[in-house]
Chains A and B, each alone.
Chain A
């Protein structure tokens, strides 16, 4: 079955760019009529969609983050990525990648601190 795994730095300096990659295994990122997304969860808080990307490269971003978010997809590597610029402490969270709503990766904790 399809599995997803997030990777990237666990610590990011304020004002810098957070970069994460999601590697998909057990299936092609290009198959099916799915989109791929990033969701985050600050410690002890709820869940927030950051954005989604289709195999074609088409994207939709949450308006609350739109000015700072860029997503990309590499079908040859079966990966998609997230860049979040100008980060602050408020961006500290567990970041999940997902194939639409199922399945999700295990999540990666990103802390924004100097």
Chain B
């Protein structure tokens, strides 16, 4: 299985400050069709995961533009420009290029 490694696992952030989460895969996520199926999810307390970013850098509908994704190959990053209170939760990366699809361990974002 492709191992997805996130860092940090805990991320205390001051409101209005930026935040960044790294995700590394044990194999390249470049698929034979030329796409890279690396997605980012937010899971608020008591809720199901919600996809924020698909295929590395594309924001899903309704996702604030303070969220952005970047990367290629095996190294990926989720950035939040200015953290707001509603951003509290656990963030997961997920690879959809290889079966079984796998998730990172999760990064818990909390407000300082």
Chain A interface (Cβ < 8 Å from any Cβ of B): 37, 46-49, 52, 60, 62-64, 96, 100-107
Tell me, in angstroms, the Cα distance from A107 to B44 when the chains sit together. 13
Q: Are B105 and A46 in contact (CB under 8 A)?
A: yes
Q: Are A49 and B39 in contact (CB under 8 A)?
A: no
Residues of chain B from 68 to 112 with CB closer than 8 A to chain A in the complex: 92, 94, 96, 99-106
**Which of B50, B51, B92, B96 sits near A47, CB closer than 8 Å?**
B92
B interface residue count range (under 10 / 10 to 19 / 20 to 34 / 35 or more): 20 to 34
Tell me, in angstroms, the Cα distance from A101 to B94 when the chains sit together. 9
- Rank and list the top 7 A-B pairs by shortest CB-CB distance, nearest first: A102-B51, A62-B100, A47-B103, A49-B101, A104-B48, A49-B100, A107-B48
CB distance from A44 to the nearest CB of B (A): 10
Q: Are B99 and A47 in contact (CB under 8 A)?
A: no
**B60 surroundings in chain A (CB, below 8 A):** 102
Tell me, in angstroms, the Cα distance from A48 to B51 when the chains sit together. 16
Task: Kindly state whether residue B8 has any CB partner on chain A within 8 Å.
Answer: no
